Structure 1
Amino acid sequence: MDLLRFATAGSVDDGKSTLIGRLLLDSKSIFEDQLEAVEATSQSKGYDYTDLALLTDGLRSEREQGITIDVAYRYFATPTRKFIIADTPGHVQYTRNMVTGASTADLGLVLVDARQGLTEQSRRHAVILSLLRVPHLVLAVNKMDLVDYDQATYERIRAEFTSFAAKLSIPDLEVIPISALKGDNVVNRSENMAWYQGSSLMHHLETVHVASDRDLVDTRLPVQYVVRPKSDEFHDYRGYAGQVAGGVLKPGDEVVVLPSGMTSTIEAIDLFDREVPEAFPPMSVTVRLTDDVDVSRGDMIARVRNAPRPSQDIDAMVCWMAPTPLRERAKLAIKHTTRTGRALVKNVQYRMDVNTLHRDQEAGELALNEIGRVQLRTTVPLLADTYAQNRTTGSFILIDEATGVTVGAGMILDGS
């Protein structure tokens, strides 16, 4: 079955966790004992309703404060599609958590409170989803039950957000009025909003087309592992395993191994138990070549006439995730696909205000949760594309060498 990854975003108390709880409940994806525990907790707090947010806000501090702090991943499936949900925080101080949750998302789900309309945080989350090149965005106008399901309120918010989104890179936008608490337009169409002619949220999630969002033109296979079985039956077997990041691989294709530049032809493509006629994103496969060429972890298999150019000078947008600011001349470890090395911060060009899109060129550094344009020099050439071209080969993480902690996430703009 097809898989859809989506991330929720929005201001505090807009109902993100409640909406996910409603999706899990109405799609029958939770166990009876889980529901009974949530109902008992809700009653003990004196609520006259079931607090569905308790299904996702698992940390004790989250339950005590009534807010989401860390990214919570939930999995469920319907007869037509599998889903992975990243429930991300709304607080500005947890921007790094939202970037983490949305970095692999096919769709971003931004919630707004129908009573409040668009807020600064709503706009900030839309900007971040745009920067991360999340191809599909849904604006869910929540808590419609608290404005008596008023169409004029929905239309006003829809028009305001559509106007704002026109300034961003959002190729697909859908606006859906819902009530996560009551269940209106979440899984089933709402009788209270007969004026709304669109689909329910679940129907949209089940039918949104994501296969064409992947790069099927530029062939990229970062090598994760060299497979050499130690058995007599497969004594001569030599394969190169990894997850296809772009393009389509087929037996007979002429390929180049980077950074060495050696060329060969694909002999066969293997899954765990069989050969396959082709491989495409996001399949994990083992490729066998007709020639014995030197290939190791961190190398990349690409098409001869369509290969990334190795580069050690990287221009990227970086989201900084550490309490200590990112400053020029800082030295960090860098991980790009399966390749690792070290990086020197040459220049912090500007810091971006994600609320106004203003570029502060006098900043000189990036503090915790800030996003800015940074120039890096790496010790090893990166086999990279721009992030706009390929979200896998166009992204990287920065790591503190002393602690091993991930301190930055980058989106490559250019390399030369």
Structure 2
Amino acid sequence: MFSSIFLKLLSIQSFGKPRSIAMSSDCTPLFDLLTPDLINDILVRLPVKSLLCCKSVSKSWLSLISDPNFIKSHLKHSITKPGADQVIFATERGTSMSLLRLDSCEIGATLGDISSVHYFETAGSCNGIVCFWFSAFGTGIPCTYLWNPATKQAKMIPPIDYDDVIIVIMGFGFDPLGDDYKVVVLINSFSRDWTIELYSAKTNVWRTVEQNLEDDPNGGLFDACVNGFVCCISYRTESDNMLAFDLNKEVLTCIKLPEGYSPIRITDFNLFKLDDEACLRDSGVEASWTKMLTVDVGHRIESVFGHFSSGDFLLCTAEYGWVLYNSDKNEARNVPVSLDYRRILKYNESLVSITGFEHVNFDAREDVSSSEFQIGSTSSSSMMMPEDTLFDY
């Protein structure tokens, strides 16, 4: 509530109305009563759109909101605020990307037009940064971007050689130890077995990670980024495993999934917690899991997308399509659109920027065949699941 009052005072100051409107009882301007610490505590709670406007208030506010420490504090508040989770999605045969507001189960802002893109797929979302790739009609050349939908900034990362490729599996996440955003790609081709390619946003280059894969990944992307690890499920004849790539040490580890895990569901699914991260950092340590709960929704489940801070699970059911199910309340709400599981991301807005970011207007009606970000570019010069959790899906 105080933040909304603060914004009203800000609008009075910003649009040149008499300062007497914003006076205290002793005729002192209210803004003069706000200490720097109090201003920081208020601003860190505001949405990104409001903060971008606040940059124009003064040089000191511009400096504060642009400060890396403030951006980290704002991100932490955004991630930990109950109910702040949103979903970025594109519908089946969709022509745009939009936000799904979990609090109201309503469709929010449209973020971008993808109607002119031949193929579009998301690779992950982390700290408000989204990684996606697409190929334009008539080119067949895949382009990969890092994008902040809230600040409308993005960059295209250097292309990678996809010749002779059978399968490409992509993941995106944040390396907290190296303070770096990275894209990892597992490539299987006709001429060679699996190889690992890694992109660093800090260096803006790809390099090959020398490691042999002992397991075959499943699907087309890593499912989650947790504490500096991107993870995906792999399926073998004798057992099911999880592959975890350490973004800092740049090592891929295979760990055994918990007893009782099954990719086959009828009306229920399980939520497991990994007891210790040691098994992710050292392949010699055996994984230990604890079953947190079993959820039975009473209808056949096609897929489980994720769990959110509101307590909701995003599910696809055979009978009702996509629903938000709250296990605590035993309530389900219908999602008003049919989602494409390859184009769904858990998302929290942020001010985070990456070197090379430029302001963009995500409008795919423009020519997207060039090497520059031509989705309406107006140049100015990534399913995280909760920590250490695994869904039985």
- Normalized against structure 1, the TM-score is what? 0.25
- The higher-RCO structure (CA 8 Å, 6+ apart) is 2
Q: When you count helix as a share of all residues, which structure comes out higher?
A: 1
Q: When you count strand as a share of all residues, which structure comes out higher?
A: 2
- Normalized against structure 2, the TM-score is what? 0.27
